[in-house]
Amino acid sequence: MSTPIVKDVSNALNTLTGGRVPQDGDLFSCKNPFVVIKSSSIPGKEVMEIPGLVYGDRDKKVKKLAVLMTLNESHIELAGSLGVDALVAHHPVADAANSGGVTLKNYLGLYDIALFELHEAFHGLHPGIPYLHGHKAFRSEIAYAGIPGNIMFVGKTMEEVNTLGDMVKRINDFMGMNTEEELLASERQVRKCNEILETNTSTRSYILAGEEDKPVNNVLHIFPHTGFNVDHLEMALKEHPEVDTLLATISRVKSDHPLVDKCRELGLNLVIGNSHAMEILENGLPLAKALDRLLPGVEVMIFRERVTAVPLQDCGSEGIQNYADMICDNYLVK
C-alpha cells in the first residue's frame, strides 16, 4: 500500500463533505457557497474561509495527521516536534493571527507541515451536536435568515430525555466532566494553587430558565455567536410553535441577554449546553474518525486544548516570577 499524499487528504475531505471542497480553478469563481468572507467590518481583520488545502505541497507524503479546532503557534510547535505532516483545522486560518504573529508560509514551511481548514463546509453534515444534547433534529439550517453560519436545529427529544435535568446530565456525561474536574483538581494540587480555573469546567452545561424537573419535548437549538437574535427566535417560533425549550450551544448568553428576556416572557425553557471549547469532541473527533477510515496507513491524532486562568502571582516557577519582576521594573515600568 502506497503512502497517502496531501492530495489524498484533500480528496478525503471532499469525499466526507459530499463535494463541498473547491477544486482547482473553482476557488474564486463564486460558485462554491462555502468559500465565504467573515468580517465584522473592523478594518483589515476580515478573513476568507477556504475549505481544503491552505498551504503545502500536494505531492508531499502524509504519514501523521492531526485534527484540531483553532490553529495557533502551540499547535504548530507540537506538530513540528511530533513529526506531523499535515494539520486539519476546523476554524479558518489567517496569516499571523493563527501562526504566532508571523506568516503561515514561513512557519509551516520551516517544519514542512501541510495545512487544511474545514469550517462551514463541515457544518450540517451530521446530527451529532443535537444528538449529544439529547434531541433528534428534523430540521437543520446552516444559514438561517440568509446569514451564512447562522446554524439552527429544530428537534424532538430522545426517549431517555424527559426533563431539563436529564438533558444537562446527558451532556456532562458525554463530555466526561468528571474527568475534567479530576484533572483540574490534580493541577491545583501539583501547582499548589486552588484558585486555578479551566475552560471546560467553568463553561459546563446548566439551566438558565426553568427547573431540573421541568419537562422538555421540542427543542430549538441555536448558536448565539453566529448572529441568532430575538427576531430570529420569533420567526422560528412562528414556524415551530410547538417548541418548549431553547438550547444555546457552542456559545452562550448571559442572564441579561435579550434572548433570555424573551424566553422568560414566552415561558420557554432555556438550557446552556456545551461551550465552543468542547467542539473538538463534537465535531473534531468525528472528523478525525472519518479521515482515519478514508486514509489507511495515516496515523491520525487529536490536538486538544486546556486553557487555564491562574492568579498573576501564582503563575510559573519562583525563577520566572523573579524574571518577570526584573523585566517589568527595569524595562517596562521605569
Averaged pLDDT for residues 241-269: 96
Sheet strands (E) in 49-111: 52-55, 64-68, 86-89
Same domain (yes/no): 146, 228:
yes
Provide the H-helix boundaries in the chain: 6-16, 73-82, 104-111, 128-132, 164-174, 177-191, 199-202, 230-239, 258-266, 279, 285-294, 318-327
Domain of 160 in residue numbering reads as 128-277
Judge whether 302 lies within some domain.
no
| Residue with the three cell numbers 476554524 | 91
Judge whether 264 lies within some domain.
yes
pLDDT at 30 over 80: no
pTM: 0.92
Averaged pLDDT for residues 292-304: 97
Judge whether 94 lies within some domain.
yes
- Residue type at 306 in one-letter notation: R
Judge whether 303 lies within some domain.
no
Same domain (yes/no): 87, 200:
no
CATH number at residue 201: 3.40.1390.30
Which one, of 31, 205, 210, 16, lies nearest residue 116 by Cα?
A: 16
Averaged pLDDT for residues 284-295: 98
pLDDT-derived band of residue 28, with 50, 70 and 90 as boundaries?
A: low
Q: What is the pLDDT of residue 58?
A: 95
CA 263 – CA 71 distance, rounded (Å):
36
Same domain (yes/no): 152, 270:
yes
Q: What is the pLDDT of residue 23?
A: 76
By CB atoms closer than 10 A (0-12, 13-18, 19+), residue 326 is exposed
pLDDT digits (tens, 9 = 90+) for 184-198: 999 999 999 999 999
Q: Rg of the chain over CA atoms, in angstroms?
A: 22
Which one, of 249, 256, 219, 215, lies nearest residue 236 by Cα?
A: 219
CA 281 – CA 284 distance, rounded (Å):
5
CATH number at residue 92: 3.40.1390
pLDDT digits (tens, 9 = 90+) for 104-154: 999 999 999 999 999 989 988 999 999 999 999 999 998 899 988 898 999
Same domain (yes/no): 213, 271:
yes
Flag the least confident range among 24-28, 97-101, 235-239: 24-28
CA 233 – CA 228 distance, rounded (Å):
8
